[in-house]
């Protein structure tokens, strides 16, 4: 019996190995969805991205072109070049043909409305300071002993600096947040209407005043630190992060109850009110959550001495907007990808996303958290969340990225004076990415409730994933492992994967030409490094063009 089982297993594995061997040099497969004009456009855009002067001055050159050519001609030029390469269209109707075409060739979409305000640096800094400093701090700065990492600093107020490819939102008022929520809702509806199993991307900083994310992040980090201190005192300092953080769940309740003699019981219990339904309930005071342990006397103390009524409402509204989006995602059969942001916001974003997963991922993976593998703590974060999902029985959903804020994070840590949260070099980040990925893949192997999107342009990482799937006998048809690349980049990875039956997705930005210029500006900056580091994509594009010309396919049109 055992030998028969082994033979069957071996045969299955052999079949699986054959099934998922993919040739990333096959240009016919990679570019069969593109006509020759599209290939030439890709070559032109990628070549332009290698000229330093053009890239460094791209914003000024675009502004000048707009003045010289006028709005209509400028927009036409952009659609023939950068906009046409990296952006799907102006609105959720005009992007449908591209989405349907990609889908016909096995590639899905993560819709991402990429409009940004074109603010000056001064305007961005003013908005950030206004929205990240509470009334209590304005009245008496320095009284509440806030940590400098989780406070706003004017010199880093413009969060667009040193960022690769991520959109940036600045808080104006609650009406603007409502408008941005409506945009995300339209995005979710478009994802549901345009494709099966679509994704939609959202950013927490678009949905409310970022002051709350800073404060909540600080509270979470201080609790973690307090528990580490207690663990050390109890001789548990060698305990790995996973067990420490899992014990933290119960520890909060115990500390809260030990203080019931000196404090109001309901207020003390709120430290355990990280239950999503409590968070969005109008009767719950969010400020009661923002309490930290005093190491000296073991009492719970508020992070800030007071919160205004308006601040309470703003915090609540942010959570309620996120809840509306999650419910619409469920109703439209769309999965929600919560983008990662800066490390001073991220503890709060990750924790709120986790609470949403506990509610909405009971039957299938709807909410996906994003893990930035350039962070030193990435593996700890992934392993804790996977373990919680396993113990509580919900579907774990992760997108693994390397990270978009490295330069900004490094300079902020150095200048303000806290530990650099980023891995020391690219190789360390690669090792971290593969370590996190391997952990999630093993969880999928043991428990089919975990899901991961490998969001990477790195061919070696994709090959590493395929190799691990081969070893584990993980079939692409199970749709547990997804792949993701940006629209207009790395088609030689996306389309062969799609043709072979893997769930693969393009991040599809869309929006009016003039309003996605800030996004395109950064895409040019990102592509400079990408295209200088590797000429592979250009050589493959040339190879396919030559192949078509030699075969007489001068007027090649995709058939689907």
- pLDDT 10s digits, 494-547: 999 999 999 999 999 999 998 888 778 876 776 666 665 568 899 999 999 999
pLDDT tens digits, residue range 450-474?
999 999 999 999 999 999 999 999 9
pLDDT at 257 over 50: no
Sign of the torsion formed by the C-alpha atoms of 192, 80, 520 and 126: negative
Flag the least confident range among 184-188, 308-312, 376-380, 441-445. 308-312
pLDDT at 419 over 70: yes
Q: For position 365, what pLDDT does the model report? A: 95
pLDDT at 260 over 50: no
Q: For position 369, what pLDDT does the model report? A: 97
Question: In degrees, to the nearest 5, what angle opens at C-alpha 95 toward C-alphas 91 and 96?
Answer: 125
Flag the least confident range among 90-94, 141-145, 366-370. 141-145
pLDDT tens digits, residue range 491-501?
999 999 999 99
Q: Are 498 and 103 in contact (CB under 8 A)?
A: no
Q: What is the mean pLDDT of residues 295-317?
A: 77
- Residues in Cβ contact with 103 at an 8 Å cutoff, skipping those fewer than 6 apart: 109, 195
Helices (H), 199-307: 211-233, 241-258, 265-269, 276-280
Q: For position 127, what pLDDT does the model report? A: 67
Distance CA 386, CA 395 (A): 9
Tokens of 328: 């619409």
Q: Are 484 and 504 in contact (CB under 8 A)?
A: yes
Question: Alpha-carbon Rg of the chain, whole angstroms?
Answer: 25
Q: How confident is the model at residue 150 (pLDDT cuts 50, 70, 90)?
A: confident
Q: For position 265, what pLDDT does the model report? A: 34
Higher pLDDT, 165 or 304: 304
Q: 3-class DSSP state for residue 295? A: coil
Distance CA 465, CA 459 (A): 10
pLDDT at 185 over 80: yes
Share of the chain above pLDDT 90, in %: 42
Higher pLDDT, 13 or 549: 549
Q: What is the mean pLDDT of residues 344-361?
A: 91
Q: For position 114, what pLDDT does the model report? A: 77
- CA 70, distance to chain mean position in Å, is 36
Q: For position 12, what pLDDT does the model report? A: 46
Q: Are 397 and 335 in contact (CB under 8 A)?
A: yes
pLDDT at 274 over 70: no
Higher pLDDT, 121 or 211: 211
Q: For position 471, what pLDDT does the model report? A: 92
pLDDT at 381 over 70: yes
Q: For position 376, what pLDDT does the model report? A: 94
pLDDT at 166 over 80: no
Q: For position 430, what pLDDT does the model report? A: 94
**DSSP element (H, E) containing 182:** helix 174-194
**Considering the chain, what is the average pLDDT of its residues?**
81
Higher pLDDT, 56 or 466: 466
3-state secondary structure 535-559: CHHHHHHHHHHHHHHHCCCCCCCCC
Q: Are 201 and 183 in contact (CB under 8 A)?
A: no
Q: For position 15, what pLDDT does the model report? A: 43
């Amino acid at each position: 019996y055992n030998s028969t089982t082994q033979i069957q297993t071996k045969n299955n594995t052999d079949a699986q190995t054959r099934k998922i061997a993919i040739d990333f040099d096959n240009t016919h497969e990679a570019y069969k969805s593109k006509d020759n004009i599209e290939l030439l456009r890709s070559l032109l855009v990628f070549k332009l991205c290698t000229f330093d002067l053009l890239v460094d001055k791209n914003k000024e050159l675009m502004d000048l072109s707009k003045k010289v050519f006028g709005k209509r001609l400028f927009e036409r030029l952009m659609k023939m070049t950068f906009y046409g390469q990296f952006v799907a269209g102006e609105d959720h109707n005009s992007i449908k043909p591209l989405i349907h075409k990609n889908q016909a060739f096995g590639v899905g979409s993560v819709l991402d409305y990429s409009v940004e305000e074109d603010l000056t640096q001064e305007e961005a800094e003013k908005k950030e300071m206004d929205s990240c400093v509470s009334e209590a701090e304005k009245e008496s700065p320095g009284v509440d002993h806030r940590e400098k990492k989780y406070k706003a600093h004017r010199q880093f107020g413009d969060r667009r600096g040193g960022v690769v490819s991520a959109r940036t939102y600045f808080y104006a008022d609650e009406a603007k947040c409502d408008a941005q929520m409506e945009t995300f809702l339209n995005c979710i509806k478009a994802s549901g209407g345009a494709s099966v199993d679509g994704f939609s991307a959202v950013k927490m900083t678009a949905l409310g005043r970022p002051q709350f994310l800073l404060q909540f992040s600080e509270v979470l980090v201080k609790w973690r630190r307090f528990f580490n201190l207690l663990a050390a005192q109890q001789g548990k300092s060698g305990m790995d992060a996973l067990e420490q953080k899992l014990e933290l769940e119960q520890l909060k309740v115990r500390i809260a109850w030990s203080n019931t003699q000196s404090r109001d019981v309901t207020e003390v219990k709120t430290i355990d009110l990280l239950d999503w339904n409590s968070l969005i309930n109008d009767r719950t005071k969010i400020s009661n959550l923002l309490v930290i342990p005093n190491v000296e006397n073991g009492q719970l103390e508020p992070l800030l001495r007071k919160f205004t009524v308006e601040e309470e409402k703003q915090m609540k509204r942010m959570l309620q907007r996120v809840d509306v989006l999650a419910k619409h995602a469920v109703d439209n059969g769309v999965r929600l990808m919560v983008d990662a942001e800066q490390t001073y916001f991220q503890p709060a974003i990750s924790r709120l996303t986790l609470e949403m997963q506990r509610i909405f991922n009971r039957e299938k993976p709807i909410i996906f958290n994003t893990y930035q593998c350039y962070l030193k703590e990435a593996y700890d974060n992934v392993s804790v969340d996977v373990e919680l999902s396993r113990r509580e029985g919900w579907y774990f959903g992760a997108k693994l990225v390397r990270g978009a804020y490295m330069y900004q994070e490094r300079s902020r840590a150095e200048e303000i004076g806290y530990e650099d949260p980023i891995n020391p070099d690219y190789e360390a980040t690669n090792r971290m990415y593969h370590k996190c990925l391997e952990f999630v893949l093993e969880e999928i192997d043991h428990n089919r409730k975990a899901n991961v999107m490998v969001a990477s342009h790195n061919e070696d990482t994709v090959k590493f994933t395929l190799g691990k799937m081969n070893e584990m006998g993980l079939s692409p048809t199970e749709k547990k492992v997804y792949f993701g690349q940006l629209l207009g980049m790395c088609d030689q990875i996306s389309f062969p994967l799609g043709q072979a039956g893997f769930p693969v997705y393009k991040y599809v930005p869309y929006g009016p030409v003039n309003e996605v210029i800030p996004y395109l500006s950064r895409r040019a900056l990102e592509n400079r490094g990408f295209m200088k580091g590797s000429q592979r994509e250009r050589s493959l594009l040339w190879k396919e063009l030559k192949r078509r010309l030699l075969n007489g396919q001068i007027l090649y049109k995709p058939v689907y």
